[in-house]
Amino acid sequence: MQTVQNPVLKGFNPDPSIVRVNQDYYIAVSTFEWFPGVHIYHSRDLVNWEFVTAPLSDETKVNLTGIDSACGIWAPNLTYCNGKFYLIYTIVYTNRSRYKDPHNFIITADNINGPWSMPVFLNCSGFDPALFHDENKKWLVNMALDYRIKNERFAGIDLQEYDEEKQELIGPVYRIFKGSEIGKTEGPNIIKHGEYYYLTVAEGGTGFDHCVTVARSKFITGPYEIDPENPVLTSRNSSCSLQRAGHGQVVDSTDGRWYMVHLCSRPISGYSILGRETAIQNVIWNKEGWPRLEKGGNKPFDSFEIPYVTKKEKLLLYRREDFDEENIPYDFMTLRNSPETCHITTKERKGWLRIYGGNSLSSKFKQGLLARRQQHFDYECITKMQFSPRSYRHLAGLVCYYNYDNYHYLKVSKDENFNICINITTADNGNIIDSDYIILEENVEIFYLKAVVHRESLIFYYSLDSIKYIQVGNTLDMTILSDEHVDGNGFTGAMIGVCCQDLMGDGIYADFDWFEYREL
């Protein structure tokens, strides 16, 4: 047996949905306001996972313009039946007050790499939809959202038949499950095992009380009985290294073993800077027919086992992008719109990334920002930038980003005396703090910008020659870039990226020669 360390998808990779197609496993994860939408990873051994596609990469199929942080694409569900992939997802248009306005869609493809069909609208009665392929019918399940203040907003799980030929839901809506006493019932998924339909749901909210609840019935429309030892997985009231465990889904392997994929986080001093990640647990079925963690109990383990040896050396992650190709690599994402719409391109200057200035980082519209996930507690990121600001309204640089209200931004600009200057702007739940400016004596245009992160701490540096680096400002607090810190809802994770702002509106841009991310 080989021991595999959790999580298998590090950094902001939440709400995993897993499907096995013969020898191939695929996991789809949520992307929220980030573009392209829904990242899908592939593995043949449950150990080595590689990105394969983002089905919502065409703005004719998805429009996230102006969507609030923590809205956008929630909890995708990936299934496979008779040679076809089915992807169901929610676009949440509101996440404030008591409303969410969740619209649920389905797209299909004969190949995981596409092309994917145009989205078909299903309903907007709740979020976290999933598709179950029964012998001769297809069924949609989703949590039911009750917006009325007097009621519990998480009203239960609804089931309705989906007619693939008509591409619409048909027949009655069945309220098949009202949830356990834990509450906040969401994330439903149905499988058939033996003579029972098993319904797995997420409960307790996606914070530190998160869990996986299982119920079963001999009839898909219910009634469903709750596992007598519920929940089957949770890290609440524990000191587990994997916290916030929940939103689980089980899958079998070709040799008859079972696994549960689930979200989790690895908080630092109570703050999930890396966001919600994806882990796997070994699962068995007990003699009463309920799924159980193979190692016992219901607390997540920081490793799982596979029954064969896959050669995998422990290597520090080093990722350098030179922007030599026309297509921007998958591990870089933009906010709400495509790079083209955000005026981010590698086509105008060979070997360089060009970002035309957008709105401020506090805007929900037209942000000139390209970023990747932070995937390690300790890392170093360096970029080479060419930038010639003409005004204090021209800004560009390197940013550690969570959302439009929470970021640390190392930026180059010009002051009122037309001196090139460097400083840090921090947004902490919307409160803006600026460090002192460093005024450069020479009119330079090439800058090397560096971020060094050690767990809760961040230090920015700059260099004019790539050899001598000078610290900018003081040590910064990375915990403000976490789900637990942000006002309202936080569901993503810390990102690191490059950006440019044109608050003058005269076409300023910044060029980036390369971008390096290295685990320390």
Question: Are residue 64 and residue 84 in the same domain, yes or no?
Answer: yes
d(CA 68, CA 162): 30
| CA distances to 290, 371, 400, 403, 496 from 517, in Å | 43, 11, 12, 20, 9
Question: Are residue 163 and residue 288 in the same domain, yes or no?
Answer: yes
Total-model pTM: 0.97
d(CA 252, CA 204): 26
Average pLDDT over residues 134-147: 96
Give the percent of the chain with pLDDT over 70.
Answer: 98
pLDDT at residue 103 is higher than 60:
yes
Asked which of 271, 306, 341 is the last residue of a domain, the reply is 306
**Residues recognised as catalytic:** 15, 186
Question: Are residue 274 and residue 386 in the same domain, yes or no?
Answer: no
Angle, CA of 103, 107 and 113, to the nearest 5°: 135
Question: Are residue 295 and residue 352 in the same domain, yes or no?
Answer: no
The torsion defined by the Cα of 333, 336, 340 and 346, in degrees rounded to 10, comes to -20
In a domain, 311, yes or no: no
Residue ranges making up the domain that contains 256 = 2-306
pLDDT at residue 361 is higher than 80:
yes
In a domain, 383, yes or no: yes
d(CA 72, CA 367): 16
Q: In which region does residue 117 sit, left (phi positive, over 0), alpha (psi from -120 to 50) or beta (all else)? A: beta
**pLDDT value for 373:** 98
CB atoms within 10 A of CB 254: 8
pLDDT at residue 385 is higher than 70:
yes
In a domain, 73, yes or no: yes
In a domain, 153, yes or no: yes
**Predicted confidence band of residue 179 (pLDDT cuts 50, 70, 90):** very high
Q: Tokens representing 445?
A: 């245009």
**Predicted confidence band of residue 159 (pLDDT cuts 50, 70, 90):** very high
d(CA 319, CA 515): 8
Question: Are residue 281 and residue 333 in the same domain, yes or no?
Answer: no
At 440-475, the pLDDT tens digits run: 988 899 999 999 999 999 999 999 999 999 999 999
**pLDDT value for 151:** 77
**pLDDT value for 314:** 57
CB atoms within 10 A of CB 384: 17
Q: Which of 424, 385, 335 is nearest to 512 (CA)?
A: 385
Question: Are residue 194 and residue 323 in the same domain, yes or no?
Answer: no
Q: Mean pLDDT in the chain?
A: 96
Sign of the alpha-carbon dihedral angle for 254, 138, 82, 104: negative
d(CA 301, CA 48): 19
pLDDT at residue 310 is higher than 90:
no
In a domain, 54, yes or no: yes
Average pLDDT over residues 127-138: 97
d(CA 495, CA 12): 8
Q: Which amino acid does the sequence have at 471?
A: Q
Contact 42, 26 (CB under 8 A): yes
Q: Which amino acid does the sequence have at 132?
A: F
Contact 368, 433 (CB under 8 A): no
Domain of residue 237, CATH code = 2.115.10.20
Question: Are residue 62 and residue 157 in the same domain, yes or no?
Answer: yes
CA 99 to chain centre: 22
Question: Are residue 150 and residue 37 in the same domain, yes or no?
Answer: yes
Asked which of 306, 327, 357 is the last residue of a domain, the reply is 306
| Number of independent structural domains in the chain | 2
Question: Are residue 285 and residue 323 in the same domain, yes or no?
Answer: no
Q: Which amino acid does the sequence have at 56?
A: L
pLDDT at residue 417 is higher than 80:
yes
Question: Are residue 61 and residue 115 in the same domain, yes or no?
Answer: yes
**pLDDT value for 308:** 79
Domain of residue 403, CATH code = 2.60.120.200
The torsion defined by the Cα of 360, 362, 363 and 367, in degrees rounded to 10, comes to 50
**pLDDT value for 152:** 84
Question: Are residue 40 and residue 170 in the same domain, yes or no?
Answer: yes
At 3-56, the pLDDT tens digits run: 999 999 999 999 999 999 999 999 999 999 999 999 999 999 999 999 999 999
CA 296 to chain centre: 29
At 220-249, the pLDDT tens digits run: 999 999 999 999 999 999 999 999 999 999
**pLDDT value for 291:** 98
Q: Tokens representing 338?
A: 């495509």
Q: Tokens representing 225?
A: 């009985």
> Residue 480: helix, strand or coil by DSSP?
helix
Asked which of 239, 271, 306 is the last residue of a domain, the reply is 306
Q: Which residues contact 296 (CB under 8 A, 6 or more apart)?
A: none
Question: Are residue 224 and residue 356 in the same domain, yes or no?
Answer: no
**pLDDT value for 312:** 62
In a domain, 312, yes or no: no
> DSSP secondary-structure letter at 478?
G
**pLDDT value for 315:** 60
| CA distances to 94, 128, 148, 181, 209 from 151, in Å | 19, 20, 6, 15, 21
d(CA 312, CA 108): 33
**pLDDT value for 313:** 58
pLDDT at residue 195 is higher than 90:
yes
**Predicted confidence band of residue 139 (pLDDT cuts 50, 70, 90):** very high
